[in-house]
Chains A and B, each alone.
Chain A
Amino acid sequence: LSMAGRGRGRGRGQMTFNVEAVGIGKGDALPPPTLQPSPLFPALERRAAPLPGGEEGEYMLALKQELRRAMRGLPYFVKPGAPRRDIERYSDKYQLSNPVDSAIDWNPGGGTQEGTWVEHGDVGLTGRLTNLPLCPPDWRRLPRELKIRVRRLRKGRTAPLVPKQHVALDKEETIKKLESLEKKEEEVTSEEEEEKEEEEEGKEEEEEEYDEEEHEEETDYVLSYFDNGESFGPDSDDNGDEAVY
């Protein structure tokens, strides 16, 4: 019994449709069967057409790179909070502030070190920094569940200010033990709600003045000079503030 269509070597290469109609003539060599996935970078037969140059193209290119740089500096670029260190160190008190997870820092100054260099900085352009006062999120427009509570480490220092808009920045390491009053680092404020729902809903708590960076430390020393010695070593190139000899 010869089953139809099973012939190997007889009628090899037959197909269900009339190959001539599609244009494969008799005796034409068919391309070899594909035994492996197509190459990752197939050879280019033709070079791509040159990009349109011109003033518009240049300007849009500059705009694009500018936007990228600007957005990295804005507080909308959410960075993860600083990882907890294994041991509390004395130097932590003097470190430049690290972002806190639970802070919505859409506020003046950003604390994201806009005046300095950002990671993966784009090459070549001078930034048009948007270091100007921002409007904080309007909580009236957002679902209530998104409001974030920030633990305040400083007990009621200033009288509450009237408007929601004038919120200042407060950032701090969330190390609860260092809750002493004399410590004043940069401040983040976000609005806070009481824990219990039954009490005031949406009532604001105290808001704090935004002190500029100069006031954050009550020391006479410039913060960036503090070197806790951790980065000593051949493979540390963090100290960008010191001149390299």
Chain B
Amino acid sequence: MVCLLLLQEPTLYTVKAVFILDNDGNRLLSKYYDPELYPSMKEQRSFEKNIFNKTHKADNEIAFLEGMTIVYKGSIDLFFYVVGSAQENELMLMSVLNCLFDSLTHILRKNVERRCLLDNMEGVFLVVDEIIDGGVILESDPQQVLQKVNYRADENPLSEHSVAQHITEKLALTSNVLQSAKEQIKWSILK
């Protein structure tokens, strides 16, 4: 087995899988690039579940599970994972993860949370597609990725319709905040 490790074929196929889970471990996006690794949906789901259970409690950045090196990052209610083989250069995987995270941070205007991500799902699909192509790292510089994807979370803020929408949403948000503040005060008094 030692020999197998040593004679590993140099290759560009670095990333085995990439996935984004929410804080219940549900899959929001996942791509498997190695057809031999977890070919069925059932295996993929159980792999993701296992990884999630072992990683979501502590933000440790890196783990070794089921014979794979996994680098990960959490943000509010989201978890981002990049999976590589046991022999892979951990820093390469890290650069992919960082690029993914930074690009999404920009697209989502720093609101890297589940709701916002789902509202901009098409942008997320495009970003992942620009970073990894079939397991090969296509780009690792977030600036380049953003330039290539050329996606804006808010569509044309100048159009009347959308401004109106924007305002209503902001208002809704404020009233939400007020509502929750009221609730909180109520609860603290009741206690």
Q: Tell me if chain B binds chain A.
A: no
Report which A residues bind B (CB closer than 8 A).
Answer: none
